[in-house]
Structure 1
Amino acid sequence: MAFSLSGIRSQALAKCGICETDRPIKWKCIDCDNLLCNHCKEKVHPQFQNAKDHRVVNIKDLGQPTVVELNINKQYLTELTAVQCMSYCHDDSLWICYNRDKKIQRVKPEGTKLNILSNFNIMVYGIAVTQSNNLLISTGKSKLKQISSKTGALTDSVYNMSPFITSAIHITSDNKVLVTGGNKYSKVVILMNQNGDHERVYEHDQHKQPIFTFPRGITSTRNGNIHVFDEVSDDRGRVVGWGYNQYLYRR
């Protein structure tokens, strides 16, 4: 999203996406999607992974915000009460689910209808399709379930975040698995490789304070930056982000 200079000046709460201080905002990293003060642009941002390839521009050069118009081309009616999660498959089919229905379906748009290809009665809290087109499912337990794209069988996967309970799932560009979760003592994000090995556990910041309140959603960029939607209260959330160098920012 582009910002005009006048727009930034009118937003009293706009702060540097890294240090979150009241230093004047002068720059924006297009790749990180972060507003930057002079200090963080010169001293902190260069430490990010692949920072030398990032596009950092002066906010005066950003121009006017781009206007995006969305038009609904087609609408489809599902058998679900609502669609809570949706994940795209490589064969143009979709996995959709709603945990109150305790149901997940693989559907494919055909004309004006959704053709149901698979149907499972299971509680679902998060889904993600791997690069091999298998579906990973968080069922509110420590181990992720998996539906094979070849056999259609529902089995346990190799991904286990015990003693934590799984929630949201995301597949990175290098086919690793990020899972949010927690228990009554702590909330975490765990990065696992294709064998299910825990490569990194994100739980505390550099001051040894808990990073998350309730991590509800997760995604990552092609440069390896991770972004988590953290629910702070019933009516307030925030985005917590970091690169593989683990420098955290909250906004």
Structure 2
Amino acid sequence: MAMSRPEEQCPIQCQLCEVDPMIKWKCLDCDLLMCSKCKDQIHSKFKSEKEHKIIDIKDVGRQDKTVDQKSKEMDQEDQKLVSISGLQTAGVSSALTNDKLIINVKEYQTEMLNIHFLAVTFDGSLWIGDGAKRDLHYICTSLQNVQLLRDKVKVISRFNMVILRIAVTPTNDILMATGTPRLMQIKAGANRVEESIYYEDMSRDIWSVHVSKDGRVIIGGGKFVVVMDTNGSYLTRYENDKNKKTLFKGKLVCSITSTCNGNIFIVEYFNKGVIMLGKDDVINIYKGNPVYNYYTGSFNPISVVTTPMDNVLVADNGNHTLHILDNNCRLLTVCNIGDIGIKRPASLAIIMEEPFPVLYIGCDVYDSNSKKGKLYKMNILEC
């Protein structure tokens, strides 16, 4: 058995490129060790980089064991490092080019045919599902609470019911849109479905649900979006403009997210754009960019989620891409995740785990050779 070297002699690679051993800088805010190239070309493009404190590695001292331990753990897990390219286009406010945006990609095989909705709880477990009620003999029911253990998916519980979208509340409850006027819920720590206090007072079916960081519940259905407080009282209804014409052109709202500046982002079925709602009206629409319509010739958004840095990720199901928008609906960059084998992204969920956010992507079955939907877990470096 070989003797290990003293800890202070272990070589540490740059934690952004994981290639260059010539560590020169440390960001105290990101807790990252960097080579000079990554400091100038990657870290400099972080949204709040100007507010970060970066010091010469010589000033850190050798007593900083935390970063060294994280580096060792990443080496032991033998995770993939993936380079995703952005493309500078006309009208793009801040696009990345050839930067590493996604690292440590892991793939999981699920029992689901398609993972149409996805949520992550504060205890680290996931809720996944495809929404369709099954025959009683069919083991893959429409909603599963799962844990990811190494390369396996462990099912904790199953529920067999029609579910269209789910969201997690600040108290770790699960809210479910089931195509009825009232949201259903599963209380934290419970194992049964019950009615919630949230309902559509015009008795129209709810198809999507989102919970903002401050606990507001946002629901959507056929051409309407409603914002409620934690008691179920209405705050805002989005439906018609000042001329009493509908705000929404698609069939129904299928995905919702919100940003810290108060904007709400929605995706509708059969409306090839991401709509941003302001205080009481549509204030911006992102319709994609033809440069990235590799496969379908058009933009096919299906799911949106907000990152810890208040950007918005948009899954383009048909073109196997992620579009990254700022919180005012302006394009930052596009990631072609199809290049690394992630096909047909259908649902997104994100949670912060230092030093990077963790992104989960649920996918549809891509071809006839695939029998079950795949789930991906990865770290993202935000622009």
1:164 aligns with 2:204: yes
Q: CA RMSD in A?
A: 2.6
Which residue in the other structure is 1:216 paired with? 254
**What is the alpha-carbon distance in structure 2 between the residues aligned to residue 176 and residue 200 of structure 1?**
11
> Identity rate of aligned residues, in percent?
28
Kept in 1: contact 2:183–2:198 (CA 8 A): yes
**What is the alpha-carbon distance in structure 2 between the residues aligned to residue 195 and residue 176 of structure 1?**
9
**What is the alpha-carbon distance in structure 1 between the residues aligned to residue 283 and residue 244 of structure 2?**
12
The structural deviation recorded for 1:149 is: 1.0
- Matched AA of 2:132: R
1:100 aligns with 2:132: yes
**Any unmatched runs of 5+ in structure 2?**
1-44, 48-85, 135-141, 287-383
Which residue in the other structure is 1:78 paired with? 110
Q: How many residue pairs end up in the alignment? A: 193
Kept in 2: contact 1:93–1:106 (CA 8 A): yes
The structural deviation recorded for 1:63 is: 7.3
- 2:158 corresponds to which of 95, 119, 126: 119
Kept in 2: contact 1:80–1:101 (CA 8 A): no
Kindly report which structure 2 residues correspond to 1:118-157, keeping only aligned pairs within 5 A, or say none: 118-157=157-196
Kept in 2: contact 1:86–1:95 (CA 8 A): yes
**What is the alpha-carbon distance in structure 1 between the residues aligned to residue 256 and residue 189 of structure 2?**
27
- 2:263 corresponds to which of 225, 239, 243: 225
**TM-score after normalising by structure 1:** 0.69
Question: Which range moved further: 88-97 or 239-248?
Answer: 239-248
1:74 partner SS: strand
**What is the alpha-carbon distance in structure 1 between the residues aligned to residue 208 and residue 184 of structure 2?**
13
Which residue in the other structure is 2:306 paired with? none
**What is the alpha-carbon distance in structure 2 between the residues aligned to residue 202 and residue 63 of structure 1?**
31
Pair 96,64 (structure 1): closer, same or farther in 2 beyond 3 Å: closer
Kindly report which structure 2 residues correspond to 1:184-203, keeping only aligned pairs within 5 A, or say none: 187-203=223-239
- Matched AA of 1:92: G
**What is the alpha-carbon distance in structure 2 between the residues aligned to residue 119 and residue 92 of structure 1?**
17
Pair 155,248 (structure 1): closer, same or farther in 2 beyond 3 Å: same
The structural deviation recorded for 1:85 is: 0.5
1:75-112 deviation line (CA, Å, top 9, x unaligned): 22211112111100001100000123551000001122
Which residue in the other structure is 1:240 paired with? 275
Kept in 2: contact 1:165–1:181 (CA 8 A): yes
**TM-score after normalising by structure 2:** 0.46
Which residue in the other structure is 2:50 paired with? none
**What is the alpha-carbon distance in structure 2 between the residues aligned to residue 63 and residue 193 of structure 1?**
36
1:10-47 deviation line (CA, Å, top 9, x unaligned): xxxx6xxxxxxxxxxxxxxxxxxxx7xxxxxxxxxxxx
1:146-202 deviation line (CA, Å, top 9, x unaligned): 0011222210000111421001111112101000013xxxx2000011111111110
**What is the alpha-carbon distance in structure 2 between the residues aligned to residue 130 and residue 71 of structure 1?**
28
- Matched AA of 1:250: I
**Any unmatched runs of 5+ in structure 1?**
9-13, 15-34, 36-58
Pair 204,245 (structure 1): closer, same or farther in 2 beyond 3 Å: closer
Report which of the two structures shows the higher radius of gyration computed on alpha carbons.
Answer: 2
Higher RCO structure (Cα 8 Å, ≥6 apart): 2
